[in-house]
A and B are shown apart, each in its own frame.
Chain A
Amino acid sequence: DAGVIQSPRHEVTEMGQEVTLRCKPISGHDYLFWYRQTMMRGLELLIYFNNNVPIDDSGMPEDRFSAKMPNASFSTLKIQPSEPRDSAVYFCASSHRARRGNEQFFGPGTRLTVL
């Protein structure tokens, strides 16, 4: 298995632009998580899906952030409009409910820089 795939690995954009981050979970996993990592706040859970349905989006910082999972093999996290304070590393992770301890498998992350 290829593991969790994220694209792009790096994104540099200007304030006010729309940013879309992409994630392909591990095949057969029914949970998908989006995290944000910064030096100040550490790892924050933004939103997670179960069987493509958003379950908890209480971590989404504001309405500028939105996430979708149109099918079991693809999810997007969109920021519109982007702001410099959104600069962070964004991780996608997936897990299978039946796995022991619900281990989460992480993608390599997308480093977002908003100028």
Chain B
Amino acid sequence: AQTVTQSQPEMSVQEAETVTLSCTYDTSESNYYLFWYKQPPSRQMILVIRQEAYKQQNATENRFSVNFQKAAKSFSLKISDSQLGDTAMYFCALPSGNQFYFGTGTSLTVIP
């Protein structure tokens, strides 16, 4: 069965600093995708970044990057130069078949 674990319920970071959110997962599939979604106070779920498992290069989207370690089944999200607008819940997600398996989320607060 697919599982996604986020072990950090809450985190905080000073504005302009870097923060890393952790995610581990389990899957029996050999090729798969992983996603990070952001949910700001407005509630809208927004895709931040995705990683395809067979690609060795870590995905990057502007200030957001991932550290994907396939053997360890780890998929962490790094946010550089944190901004106040990054304050949100962050969910790690593993699609399998037609479903998404979500972690429990990490609440990130950026402190001015």
Give residues in A with beta carbon < 8 Å to B: 31, 33, 42-43, 45, 48, 50, 55-56, 89, 91, 93, 97, 100-104, 106, 108-109, 111
- In-complex Cβ contact of A91 among B45, B98, B99, B104 (8 A): B45
B28 within 8 A of A: no
- The answer on a CB contact under 8 Å between A103 and B98 is no
- In-complex Cβ contact of A101 among B52, B102, B103 (8 A): B52
Interface SS of A by simple majority: strand
- In-complex Cβ contact of B105 among A42, A56, A93, A103 (8 A): A42
Residues of A within 8 A of B105 (CB): 42-43
> Smallest distance from the beta carbon of B31 to chain A beta carbons, Å?
11
Docked CA distance A100–B44 (Å): 21
- The answer on a CB contact under 8 Å between A101 and B45 is no
- In-complex Cβ contact of A104 among B43, B52, B100, B103 (8 A): B100
- The answer on a CB contact under 8 Å between B102 and A102 is no
The 10 A-B residue pairs with the shortest CB-CB distance in the complex, in nearest-first order: A101-B33, A106-B45, A43-B102, A109-B43, A42-B104, A102-B95, A108-B44, A101-B50, A104-B100, A103-B47
> Smallest distance from the beta carbon of A9 to chain B beta carbons, Å?
9
- The answer on a CB contact under 8 Å between B99 and A45 is yes
> Smallest distance from the beta carbon of A63 to chain B beta carbons, Å?
22
Docked CA distance A114–B46 (Å): 27
B30 within 8 A of A: no
Complex A-B: 15 CB contacts under 8 Å: A42-B102, A43-B91, A45-B99, A48-B99, A50-B98, A100-B33, A100-B50, A101-B35, A101-B52, A103-B35, A103-B47, A103-B50, A108-B43, A108-B44, A109-B43
B42 within 8 A of A: yes
Closest B residue to A93 using CB positions: B45
Closest A residue to B33 using CB positions: A101
- The answer on a CB contact under 8 Å between A89 and B104 is no
